[in-house]
Amino acid sequence: MVFSFGYSPWLLLLCVAVAGGLTYWTYRSTVPPLSTGWRSLLGGLRFLALALICLLLFEPVLQQIQSTERPPVLAVLVDESESMRVVTAGDQSPSAKTARDSVRSVLETLAAEVPGSVRFFGAGSSVRTLPTPPTDSLRFGGARTDLARALQAVPEQLRTENLKGIVLVSDGQSNTGRNPLRVADRSAVPIHTVTVGDTTRQRDLRLRSVATNERAYLDSEVPVRASLTTTGGGGESVKVVLEQNGQTIDQSPVRLPTGTGEVSVDLTFEPTQAGLQQLTVRASELPDEATTRNNAKTVSLRVLESKRKVLLLGAAPSPNFTALRRVYDRNADTDVTARVPTPDGSFLGGALPEDLSSFDVVVSAGFPSDPVPEETVDRVGTLVEDGTPALFFLDRQTDLGAWSNHFASVLPATPGTAATGFDEATFQVAEGQDQHPVYRLGDADLRMLDRLPPLRTSDIDWSPSPDARVLATATPASGEGSSPLLVVRSRAGLRTATFLGTGVWRWALLPGRLESADPLWPGLASNLLRWVSTEADDAPVRVQPVASTFDGGEPVSFTGQVYDESRQPVPDAAVEITVTDSAGTEYPYTMDPVGQGRYTLDIGTLPEGTYRYSARAQLEGTELGTDQGEFSVAPLRLEYQAPRADAVLMRQIATRSGGTTHAASTADELPAALERQASFSAETVRQTSESELWRTSLFLVVLLLLLAGEWTLRKYLGLT
Homologous superfamily in CATH for domain 308-533: Class I glutamine amidotransferase (GATase) domain (3.40.50.880)
CA distance 118 to 131: 10
Domain boundaries, the chain: 2-66+690-717, 72-199+644-676, 204-301, 308-533, 541-633
Report long-range pairs for 661-666 (Cβ below 8 Å, ≥24 apart). Answer: 661/192, 661/193, 661/195, 662/192, 662/193, 662/194, 662/195, 663/194, 663/195, 664/102, 664/103, 664/105, 664/106, 664/194, 664/195, 664/196
pLDDT at 720: 67
User: Is 705 strand, coil or helix?
Assistant: helix
CA distance 415 to 463: 6
Q: pLDDT tens digits, residue range 533-542? A: 876 666 788 8
pLDDT at 218: 76
Q: pLDDT tens digits, residue range 554-585? A: 788 998 988 876 667 888 899 999 999 888 88
pLDDT at 567: 63
pLDDT at 637: 62
Contact residues for 83 (Cβ-Cβ < 8 A; gap 6+):
145, 171, 173, 639, 640, 642, 643
Side chain identity, residue 470: V
Residue 192: alpha-carbon gap to chain centroid: 31
Q: What phi, psi does 567 have (nearest 5°)?
A: 65, 25
Whole-model pTM?
Answer: 0.51
Task: Give all strands (DSSP E) within 30-134, no chain letters.
Answer: 61-70, 73-79, 117-123, 127-130
Contact residues for 379 (Cβ-Cβ < 8 A; gap 6+):
352, 356
Q: Give me the count of residues in the chain.
A: 720
- Exposure string for 606-639, b = 16+ CB within 10 A, e = fewer: beeebbbbebbbeeeeeebbebeebbbbbbbbbb
Query: Pick from 110, 80, 238, 195: which is nearest to 668 by CA?
Result: 110
Q: How many Cα atoms are found within 13 Å in the side-chain-facing hemisphere of 309?
A: 10
CA distance 364 to 397: 12
Neighbours of 577 (CB within 10 A): 22
Please state whether beta strands 556-562 and 598-604 pair in parallel, antiparallel, or not at all (unpaired): antiparallel
CA distance 380 to 382: 5
Low pLDDT (below 70) residues in the chain: 1, 90-91, 93, 199-201, 417-420, 535-538, 553, 565-567, 636-642, 720
Query: Pick from 446, 444, 419, 416: which is nearest to 431 by CA?
Result: 446
Query: Pick from 439, 501, 503, 441: which is nearest to 471 by CA?
Result: 439
657 neighbors 190 (Cβ within 8 angstroms): yes
CATH topology of domain 72-199+644-676: Rossmann fold (3.40.50)
CA distance 42 to 371: 129
Query: Pick from 531, 223, 239: which is nearest to 361 by CA?
Result: 531
CA distance 595 to 589: 19
CA distance 476 to 482: 7
Query: Pick from 190, 278, 272, 276: which is nearest to 242 by CA?
Result: 278
CA distance 522 to 518: 8
CA distance 667 to 686: 35
Output DSSP code: residue 307: P
Query: Pick from 402, 383, 397, 370: which is nearest to 310 by CA?
Result: 383
What is the SS3 string spanning 478-543? CCCCCEEEEEEEEECCEEEEEECCECHHHCCCCCHHHHHHCCHHHHHHHHHHHHHHCCCCCCCEEE
CA distance 701 to 575: 61
User: Is 445 strand, coil or helix?
Assistant: coil
Query: Pick from 399, 380, 301: which is nearest to 339 by CA?
Result: 380
- Exposure string for 185-196, b = 16+ CB within 10 A, e = fewer: eebebbbbbbbb
CATH topology of domain 204-301: Immunoglobulin-like (2.60.40)
User: Is 330 strand, coil or helix?
Assistant: helix
Q: pLDDT tens digits, residue range 227-281? A: 888 877 778 888 889 888 888 888 889 888 887 788 888 888 888 887 778 888 8
Q: What phi, psi does 80 have (nearest 5°)?
A: -105, 25
Residue 525: alpha-carbon gap to chain centroid: 31
Contact residues for 431 (Cβ-Cβ < 8 A; gap 6+):
none
CA distance 111 to 119: 9
Side chain identity, residue 157: Q
Please state whether beta strands 390-393 and 361-365 pair in parallel, antiparallel, or not at all (unpaired): parallel
User: Is 133 strand, coil or helix?
Assistant: coil
| Integer angstrom CA distances of residue 398 from 194, 344, 371, 404, 465 | 76, 17, 11, 11, 20
Q: Determine whether domain 541-633 maps to CATH 2.60.40.1930.
A: yes
Output DSSP code: residue 565: T
CA distance 293 to 642: 11
Query: Pick from 176, 200, 161, 186: which is nearest to 123 by CA?
Result: 176
- Does this chain's domain 72-199+644-676 share its CATH topology with 204-301? no
560 neighbors 591 (Cβ within 8 angstroms): yes
